[in-house]
Amino acid sequence: AKGKGKGRQVTYAAEMDQRTAEQSRLAADLRVALDADQLTLLYQPIVHMPGGELYGVEALIRWNHPARGPIGPDVFIPAAERTGLIVPLGAWILEEACRQAMAWRTSLGDAAPRTVTVNVSARQLREAGFASDVAAVLQRTGLPPSTLTIEVTETAVFDGGSALAEVRAISALGVKIALDDFGTGHSSLGLLRTCPADVLKVDKSFVDDVTSGGQQAVVVAALIGICEGMGLRAVAEGVETAEQAAELQRLGYRYAQGFHYGHPMPASAVATYRPAPAGN
């Protein structure tokens, strides 16, 4: 058994080397992609229950690699983080999302998404002056700060350096702060105590359990109470079925995001998004 363990370790190390090399290749390609129009943002509806009307959208990046086809962010964001490329990439994402948000406000008026949320990674948050970059983008695009939401994870906020100070400075601009993947970290309640927050995004892993009688269902029920008590907006992530949506509403949830309501879609489709007919 010992020998087997060792062999497993060697394989693991080799796999890690391979993955690192793969990430370096990806990062090199990504540098090109950033200048070559291979990156686009899709927008996933965040809806109001029970009707499913559009409340906001989350910007999610996609990379259409010329040789390999579409590559998901779960693959290339870590590579971009490791190489620091996430800093210029993240700046592009923020600017593009704010520009789009402003375009919706101009063309759709009251029907425009009320908030556009942008994911920000640990590496971006660690850059001193990140909050001033956000302020500059808002100025350039003319987007009202209160219509932008920045999504941060516990890992990113507690990453050290000036991360927490940057989040506070962004919040002071009037931009909304959402705590992403809430509940999956080590110190979720600690995060609530130290980090300014307007929105709590309850991670899909908990939502998955609400109808399956899993243990995490009790967490979903408790989190809505915390949100109500603290004046936070709770958004249930990864809602895939009508049953989950019904159970979440029974627990008091009013906002949801997930394939049941809409997949990430191009900006043009957001303009025509309508809730699915009831009973769907």
Q: Tell me the site size for Ca ion, rule CB under 5 A.
A: 5
| Residues forming beta bridges with residue 178, ordered by sequence position | 151, 199
Site string for Ca ion, 237-256 (x = CB under 5 A): x-------------------
Least Å distance, CB 229 to ligand C2E, is: 24
CA–CA separation, 171 and 191 (whole Å): 15
Q: Candidates 29, 133, 180, 247: give the one binding ligand C2E (CB under 6 A).
A: 180
| β-bridge pairing 69-71 and 53-65 | antiparallel
Structure tokens, 248? 């979440």
Q: Candidates 151, 154, 166, 208: give the one binding Ca ion (CB under 5 A).
A: 151
Instruction: Rank residues 71 and 224 by Cβ distance to ligand C2E and give the closer one.
Output: 71
CA–CA separation, 158 and 95 (whole Å): 25
DSSP code at position 112: S
Query: Does the footprint of ligand C2E cover residue 72 (CB under 6 A)?
Result: yes
Q: Is the dihedral of CA 236, 241, 244, 249 positive or negative?
A: positive
Cβ atoms < 10 Å from Cβ of 225: 12
Residue type (1 letter), 82: R
Q: Candidates 60, 102, 134, 169: give the one binding ligand C2E (CB under 6 A).
A: 60
Query: Does the footprint of ligand C2E cover residue 73 (CB under 6 A)?
Result: yes
Query: Does the footprint of Ca ion cover residue 180 (CB under 5 A)?
Result: yes
Of 247, 245, 254, the residue nearest 227 (C-alpha): 254
Instruction: Rank residues 7 and 72 by Cβ distance to ligand C2E and give the closer one.
Output: 72
CA–CA separation, 166 and 195 (whole Å): 10
Query: Does the footprint of Ca ion cover residue 181 (CB under 5 A)?
Result: yes
Query: Does the footprint of ligand C2E cover residue 71 (CB under 6 A)?
Result: no
The residues that touch Ca ion, with contacts defined as CB under 5 A, are 119, 151, 180-181, 237
The residues that touch ligand C2E, with contacts defined as CB under 6 A, are 44, 59-61, 72-74, 77, 90, 93, 119-121, 180-181, 238-240, 257-259, 264
